[in-house]
Each structure stands twice: as structure tokens, then as C-alpha cells.
Amino acid sequence: MTLKEVRYALKVWGRFWSSKEQGLGFASRSITATMMEIGLLGVSSRSDKHLYSHGSEGVFVPDHITEIDNAVSKFLRINERQIIRAVYVQNKKPTEKGRALLIQAELALSRHI
């Protein structure tokens, strides 16, 4: 795989995980209001339960994302994983030292993806 193809694949991978890390929104009612309703009525009728039902086990990960996940965890050192995540998932700009590490990590992935 060329370096250009690796960078594109990492951008897709990063956008996928970035979207999964973003919050699902805010609850329409406070916890205090919900507890008061339970105390007064004995039940709670919440329309925001969907905000709390999404766990990591409910995330569908496509095969091409899993392939990159496996390559990142298997072939990169911890500091290389951190820079890949910072740049592609968190959309941070690397320092000069980080840039050299990023290129090293991208080259390592180009041999294994």
C-alpha cells in the first residue's frame, strides 16, 4: 500500500472513531427532576433513555476499520499509536518530533495493511 493510500485509510478510520467518541446529546430532564418524579409517582417516564442505552458493545465496526485497528495495535509501538490517534482521531497537529514519529508509523502501516 502506498503512503497516500495509508493516509486516506487512516483518515477514514479516524473519522469513524471520532464520530463514535462524540456525545449523543444532553438529556432533556435533570436527574433531580427524574428522582422527584419517581418519589411522587413511583415511576419514571423518561424520553431520554436512548441517550444511555448505547454502549461500546452496540457499536458496529466495519471490516476495513477492524483491519486498521488490528494493524495499529499489532505493528505499532505505544508512542506511534498515540500519535496516530492524536492526528487522525482527535484531529491534532503534530509537533516536529511528532511529525517524524507520525511518518515512521505511517510507513510501518504501509507494509502491513
Residue pLDDT, tens place only, 32-42: 776 776 666 66
pTM higher than the cut 0.75? no
Host domain of residue 69: 3-110
Task: Report the candidate in 86, 102, 104, 109 with the shortest Cα–Cα distance to residue 14.
Answer: 86
Would you say residue 75 has pLDDT above 70? Answer: yes
User: Grid cell 483491519 — which residue?
Assistant: 67
Q: How confident is the model at residue 85 (pLDDT cuts 50, 70, 90)?
A: very high
Would you say residue 51 has pLDDT above 60? Answer: no
Mean pLDDT of 90-110: 95
Q: How far apart are CA 107 and CA 102, in angstroms?
A: 9
Number of domains in the chain: 1
